[in-house]
């Protein structure tokens, strides 16, 4: 799990940074490391600010109760955004 420097965050890799930071936050919580918990929470907040609402939704919303088409449409919109410059 690697978190890139902020200068390297792009719309194409920001969701990966978000997921990696969440995993590192969970590790810090399991280790009860308050300093790292605070650090990862702050970094996740900064990453969230760089994400579009659609990107954030794709990572955080539970699509299990929705039609597969809804998830697929959301995914396609996000991927289209991420590959355009």
User: Has residue 27 got a pLDDT over 90?
Assistant: yes
Number of domain units in the chain: 1
For the cut 90, the answer to whether the pLDDT of residue 1 exceeds it is no
Residue 71 domain flag: yes
For residue 5, being part of any structural domain is answered with no
Domain membership flag for residue 54: yes
In whole numbers, what is the pLDDT of the chain averaged over residues?
95
Mean pLDDT of 18-44: 97
Please tell me the distance from the alpha carbon of residue 19 to that of residue 3, in angstroms, as a whole number.
Answer: 10
Per-residue pLDDT at 16 exceeds 70: yes
Q: Could you tell me if residue 79 is inside a domain?
A: yes
* Structural domain range at position 52: 10-83
- The pLDDT value given to residue 47: 98
Identify the pLDDT of residue 85: 62
| Residue 63 and residue 70 in contact, taking contact as beta carbons nearer than 8 Å | yes
For residue 3, tell me if it sits in a domain.
Answer: no
């Amino acid at each position: 799990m690697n978190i890139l420097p902020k200068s390297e965050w792009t719309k194409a890799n920001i969701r990966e940074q978000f997921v990696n930071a969440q995993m590192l936050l969970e590790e810090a919580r399991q280790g009860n490391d308050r300093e790292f918990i605070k650090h990862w929470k702050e970094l996740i907040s900064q990453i969230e600010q760089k994400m579009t609402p659609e990107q954030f939704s794709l990572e955080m919303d539970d699509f299990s109760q929705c039609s597969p088409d809804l998830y697929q449409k959301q995914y396609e919109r996000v991927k289209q955004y991420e590959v355009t410059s």
